[in-house]
């Protein structure tokens, strides 16, 4: 296939381009490349999507495409790409997000669940309106690519190369030192990760076989307690887990889910279904998932390569964790 990846230099889009090249496809990446270059074997069309419709002139002028893959977050840029390229493309994949769903409280919810209203035109996309922005791009993709569009609603993406530092926090924390590890007391709560390599393979398979429509590209739910125990075992299993009540952690400013001073994968109330969505439709259409423990092993290897003591984008800093552990142990041992 002739495949155009809008991006191709970072994490998922780079993995898609890498696998496409390895499979023998003719791959072009449209990207600025200010920090990273596309994978070896892919051609590189240097263009800045923030410059408007002219960014796509080069891609539109080299003939028809069998498949285009877009991972955009900006509805304006996504619409411009669709207007320029969709008429000459056989299959269009937009990598959306399960953040488009309006309700995250129902475990097992499928693709027929209600989605957020699209972000209105002219409003700048931010992390606060991420779901609405992805919803707007889904709407534009359905409008302009129609029946040849695959709306790939990805869940949390993990595995080697993950720049968010979320999934890798726990195995890296156990491996960093054998001291007590502060964790939320949520052993039965689900986690749900899709390995970036499995997601990339699914995007390509869907393009090759003509899969269309909205499909949840998510992993199988894994209880947080199982994920935490496996993370500990990978490091030797010596560390003590100090499980603190969720309310106690929240009252002391520990953040949910991601970001600085967070406990990654811990979700706030009302999100009981966020990490437990159905992947049945995508599995029936060909999505294959490697065992989650293998993803965890590979993630820890990547964390070791990057450095276990590096400054992280997500998780508690060592100083914050020590302070909270001391406070927790003092409070509960004296109670």
pLDDT at 223 (0 to 100) = 98
Q: Which residues pair with 152 in a beta bridge?
A: 95, 215
Region 171-185: mean pLDDT is 96
pLDDT in tens, 92-134: 999 999 999 999 999 999 999 999 999 999 999 999 999 999 9
HSE (CB half, 13 Å, CA atoms) of 163? 5
Q: Is 303 a member of any domain?
A: yes
Whole domain around residue 31: which residue ranges?
2-154
Q: What is the pLDDT of residues 301-317, one digit of tens each?
A: 999 999 999 999 999 99
pLDDT for position 198? 98
3 state SS of 39 = coil
- Residue-level pLDDT at 90: 98
61 plus 178 within the same structural domain: no
With beta carbons less than 8 A apart as the criterion, state whether 129 and 163 touch: no
pLDDT at 333 over 70: no
Average pLDDT score, the chain: 96
Give a yes or no: residue 7 inside a domain: yes
Mean pLDDT score, 219-225 = 98
Distance between CA 99 and CA 275 in Å, rounded? 11
In three-state secondary structure terms, 181 is strand
240 domain-assigned: yes
Would you say residue 211 lies in a domain? Answer: no
Q: Do 184 and 243 form a contact (C-beta atoms < 8 A)?
A: yes
Mean pLDDT of 29-50: 94
Examine the domain organization and report whether 147 and 179 are in the same domain.
Answer: no
pLDDT, position 137: 98
Q: Note whether residue 9 is domain-resident.
A: yes
pLDDT bin (cut points 50, 70, 90) of residue 331 is confident
Can you tell me whether residue 270 is helix, strand or coil?
coil
- 57 and 90 both lie in a single domain: yes
CATH of the domain at 72: 3.40.50.720
Token pair recorded at residue 246: 């969720």
Residue at a domain's end among 95, 124, 154: 154
Instruction: Report the percentage of the chain scoring pLDDT > 70.
Output: 99
Residue 232 lies in a domain: yes
Average pLDDT over residues 263-287: 98
Task: Tell whether 188 and 310 lie within a shared domain.
Answer: yes
Residue 52 has pLDDT above 80, yes or no: yes
Cα 240 from Cα 165, distance rounded (Å): 22
List Cβ neighbours of 270 (8 Å cut-off, separation of 6 or more).
104, 105
- Looking at 96, 126, 154, the residue that finishes a domain is 154
pLDDT interval class at 335 (50, 70, 90): low
In a domain, 133, yes or no: yes
Q: According to the model, what pLDDT value does residue 35 have?
A: 84
Q: What is the pLDDT of residue 245?
A: 96
Does residue 73 belong to any structural domain of this protein? yes
Mean pLDDT score, 24-31: 98
Show the tokens assigned to 179: 């001291």
Q: Which single residue is written with the structure tokens 């926090």? A: 169
- When mean pLDDT is compared across 27-36, 90-99, 122-131, 199-208, the lowest value belongs to 27-36
Residue located via tokens 């893959």: 69
Which segments within 175-302 are labelled E, that is strand?
181-184, 190-191, 193-195, 213-217, 222-223, 241-244, 255-257, 262-264
The number of domains in the chain is 2
- 187 shares its domain with 329: yes
Q: How would residue 33 be classed by pLDDT, with cut points 50, 70 and 90?
A: confident
Q: Are residues 144 and 181 in the same domain?
A: no
- pLDDT value at 268 more than 90: yes
pLDDT for 83: 98
**Does the pLDDT at position 334 exceed 70?**
no
In the chain, what's the furthest Cα-to-Cα distance? 73
């Amino acid at each position: 296939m002739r495949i155009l990846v809008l991006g191709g230099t970072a994490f998922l889009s780079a993995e898609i381009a890498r696998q496409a090249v390895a499979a023998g496809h003719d791959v072009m990446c449209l990207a600025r490349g200010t920090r990273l270059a596309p994978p070896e074997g892919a051609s590189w069309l240097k263009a800045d999507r923030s410059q408007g419709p002219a960014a796509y002139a080069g891609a539109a002028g080299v003939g028809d495409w069998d498949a285009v893959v877009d991972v955009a977050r900006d509805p304006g840029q996504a619409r411009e790409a669709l207007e320029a390229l969709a008429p000459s493309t056989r299959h269009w994949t937009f990598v959306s997000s399960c953040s488009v769903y309006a309700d995250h409280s129902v475990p097992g919810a499928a693709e027929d669940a209600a989605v957020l209203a699209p972000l209105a035109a002219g409003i700048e996309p931010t992390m606060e309106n991420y779901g609405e922005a992805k919803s707007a791009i889904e709407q534009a993709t359905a409008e302009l690519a129609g029946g040849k569009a695959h709306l790939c609603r990805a869940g949390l993406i993990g595995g080697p190369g993950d720049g968010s530092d979320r999934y890798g926090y726990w195995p890296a924390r156990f491996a960093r030192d054998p001291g007590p590890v502060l964790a939320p007391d949520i052993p039965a709560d689900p986690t749900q990760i899709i390995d970036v390599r499995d997601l990339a393979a699914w995007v390509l398979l869907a393009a090759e076989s003509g899969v269309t429509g909205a499909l949840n590209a998510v992993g199988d739910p894994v209880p947080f307690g199982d994920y935490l125990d496996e993370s500990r075992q990978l490091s030797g299993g010596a560390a003590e887990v100090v499980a603190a009540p969720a309310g106690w952690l929240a009252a002391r400013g520990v953040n949910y889910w991601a970001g600085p001073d967070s406990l990654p994968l811990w979700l706030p109330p009302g999100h009981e279904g966020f990490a437990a969505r159905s992947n049945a439709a995508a599995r029936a259409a060909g999505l294959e998932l490697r065992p989650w423990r293998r993803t965890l092993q590979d993630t820890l290897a990547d964390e070791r390569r990057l450095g276990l003591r590096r400054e992280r984008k997500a998780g508690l800093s060592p100083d914050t964790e020590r302070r909270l552990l001391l406070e927790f142990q003092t409070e509960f041992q004296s109670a």
